[in-house]
Copies of this chain bind each other. A is one copy, B any other.
Amino acid sequence: MIVLFTDFGLTGPYTGQVAAVLHRDAPDVPVISLFADAPSERPKPSAYLLAAYGAWFPAGTVLLCVVDPGVGSERRAAVAEAEGRIYVGPDNGLFDIVLRRAGDARLWEIIWHPGSLSPSFHGRDLFAPVAARLARGESLGALAQPVHDEQASRGWPDDLAEIVYVDHYGNAMTGLRGVLLPANAHLAVRGRRLARAATFSAVRPGEAFWYINSNGLAEIAVNGGRADQALGLAIGDRVIVES
């Protein structure tokens, strides 16, 4: 299976062209769009979102990951191997958290070159063909070469105490893994201090709370309402863990 993690949107041409390339190059491999609205052109919050949601897929999954504000510049094109999954995309930090959390991570630089490469759409012309080739079983060694500087740190923390995503319902995911927080921790954000609840129906209608979401992230929500609007939350907002 090929899983898409991008900031392309679904309605315009980008996801469709990528899907067409994947079908052309790996016609028998199913394609699933996981996120088409990853934090737009922001690799840092995207990295924490990808680490949480990519880990849900079984070993053997190829994840095509494109949040790529530096497309056309000198940033490397990369493949990350972690816990049996393969991540293809720009080497701009997007894979840093996935690599750090895996016991057996390896980073590769793509050496395969397409016949033609648009300076603004490597997702279609470079990353999708490489993802398709890996998904149909081609050797990673034929497409990329190992790199050994994966310790070069961008200084990002293990968990990110910020809002990293606001979902369709207005719930605000943080970059914090819920199981690493004290059970009685409160989250402070935008001047509000929120207690933990097991799930929505455990609090009164209209009440804000935080809980551990279905992929393990600490998430801020309002029962029957939109947390983004009720609390004024957006991607990048700082969150403080209080006991």
A contact residues vs B (CB 8 Å cutoff): 1, 3-4, 7-17, 19-20, 23-24, 27, 30, 32-37, 40-41, 53, 56-58, 69-73, 118-121, 124-125, 165, 167-169, 198-202, 211, 213-215, 224
Return the chain B residue nearest A213 by Cβ. Answer: B120
Complex contact B34–A167 (CB within 8 A): no
Complex contact B30–A23 (CB within 8 A): yes
Question: Given A120-B213, A121-B214, A124-B214, does the pair A9, B168 have CB atoms closer than 8 Å?
Answer: yes
Our pick among B17, B24, B167 for the contact of A12 (Cβ within 8 Å) is B167
Our pick among B4, B16, B56, B202 for the contact of A17 (Cβ within 8 Å) is B56
A35 partner residues in chain B, CB cutoff 8 A = 11-13, 16
Our pick among B4, B16, B72 for the contact of A200 (Cβ within 8 Å) is B72
Complex contact B11–A32 (CB within 8 A): no
Copies of the chain in the assembly:
3
| Nearest CB of B to A196, in Å | 13
| Nearest CB of B to A189, in Å | 19
4 more contacts with CB within 8 A, not counting A11-B35, A16-B34, A70-B201, are A10-B10, A118-B213, A118-B214, A121-B214
| Nearest CB of B to A122, in Å | 9
| Nearest CB of B to A195, in Å | 16
| Nearest CB of B to A47, in Å | 15
Complex contact A20–B200 (CB within 8 A): no
Question: Given A11-B168, A72-B200, does the pair A20, B40 have CB atoms closer than 8 Å?
Answer: no
